[in-house]
Amino acid sequence: MHAHHHDHQLGPSPAASVMLDLGPQTGVLIIHATEREHLQEIEISGGTDTGAKRTHAAARERVLPDRVVDAAVYPGLTVGRYTVWRDAGRPHGVATVVAGSVTEYVYAQRSSTSRR
């Protein structure tokens, strides 16, 4: 998670409201968050270098057909390994984005899986 804050008004994301960009060179990373990360911005960076450029997304309520979850969504990522950051200097774990797939990272468990 990162230190700067944006003035977002982040309500729940209704079902089918997120466009996922999947392709032969891209995939999607979804980070399933806990209540502690709700509305926090979770940072990721390509590779494992602590100096790599980071991007972030808010862990917000996502309304699914059968349940509601807190998750941060990173669509259209280039295939490869991504570090999920706990804070500015400490990694939380690593997720591997696979072409044409959705990789799901469970923040509480520090694990990831990919599915098409």
For residues 85 and 52, give the distance between their C-alpha atoms in angstroms, rounded to a whole number. Answer: 12
Q: Are 61 and 12 in contact (CB under 8 A)?
A: yes
CB 48 within 8 A of CB 89: no
In tens, the pLDDT along 16-50 reads: 566 677 899 999 999 999 888 888 899 999 998 88
Q: Tell me the C-alpha distance between 7 and 41, whole Å.
A: 12
Q: Which fold has domain 26-115?
A: Immunoglobulin-like (2.60.40)
Q: Give this prediction's pTM.
A: 0.80
pLDDT band at 109 (very low <50, low <70, confident <90, very high): low
With a pLDDT cut of 70, the percent of the chain lying above it is: 78
